[in-house]
Structure 1
Amino acid sequence: MGYKKATDILPEELLIQIQDYIDGECIYIPRKEENKKTWGELTKSKKETYKRNLDIYNSYIKGTSVKQLSETYYLSPKWIRKIVAAVRKEQQCTLV
């Protein structure tokens, strides 16, 4: 998100109307629904997290303990169990 100077981009009439509501304050204008991006869409974060979760699941299936996975990935045991359950559920859905 970047800041733009209102006097540079808005017509004077619109600027005057906005000043009637909020004079000199900051205002956030959300994106149009069709222009919104999902989390991780602009970076590799989503793909990297998905790959990490698959790695955790596969290690767990091969016998690595929740405690060891927790220490390896710096995640709580509870979070490791949530990841394993989510990937297991996803794997079952793709098999059907």
Structure 2
Amino acid sequence: MKYRNASEILPDKLLREIQKYASGEAIYIPLVTERQKWGEGSGARRYYEERNQKICEKHEAGASMEELAGIFNLSIETIRKIIYRK
């Protein structure tokens, strides 16, 4: 991380305002990025959406909640929540 003098980057008015709060201190200004939703970066969100879709499809095809719980290694209560959420 490269440090730069704020007086070289910021307009004078903004620099004076910042000096009121952090005069002489080193401060970190994070990048402007839009925050991703949970699991979007790692692919976990897509994995669980696909899994839940398969659970619903199998249930509509006639599989019982107990069978689905065994197939997907989930509790019956979790299977119930997934099915009724859709």
Normalising by structure 1, report the TM-score. 0.57
RMSD, aligned α-carbons: 2.9
Query: How many equivalent pairs are there?
Result: 68
Match of 2:55 in 1: 56
Match of 1:14 in 2: 25
State the identity %.
24
Q: Which runs of 5+ in 2 are unaligned?
A: 6-22
C-alpha distance in 1, partners of 2:31/2:85? Answer: 31
SS of corresponding position for 2:41: coil
User: Which aligned runs of 4 or more in structure 1 are off by greater than 6 angstroms?
Assistant: none
What one-letter code is carried by the residue in structure 2 that aligns with 1:80?
A: I
Normalising by structure 2, report the TM-score. 0.63
Deviation at 1:40, TM superposition (A): 1.4
Structure 2 counterparts to residues 30-69 of structure 1, below 5 A:
35-69=34-68
Q: Which runs of 5+ in 1 are unaligned?
A: 19-28, 88-96
Match of 1:74 in 2: 73
C-alpha distance in 2, partners of 1:74/1:35? Answer: 35
Q: Which has the larger radius of gyration?
A: 2
Hey, which of these two has a bigger chunk of helix by percent? 1
Match of 1:84 in 2: 83
Q: Deviations over 1:12-62 (max 9, x none)?
A: 9223xx8xxxxxxxxxx9x78963211111122111111110100010111
